Amino acid sequence: MLHYALVFLVIAIIAALLGFTGIAGAAAGIAKILFIVFLILAIIAFFRRAS
């Protein structure tokens, strides 16, 4: 999950540098959502393992 978030972040950066603002915004939004999902799953896994 974190890998896909980083891939979309790189796509967003490259698209922003090339001037594709719509694609860059969409890719950054997807990266943000995937990172939040990753954090939630990591926290759940941490607490399941700790108890």
Q: Which residues of the chain have pLDDT under 70?
A: none
pLDDT at residue 27, as a whole number: 94
- Using an 8 Å Cβ cutoff, are 8 and 27 in contact? yes
pLDDT score of 50: 83
Q: Report the chain's C-alpha Rg in angstroms.
A: 14
- What's the pLDDT score for residue 1? 80
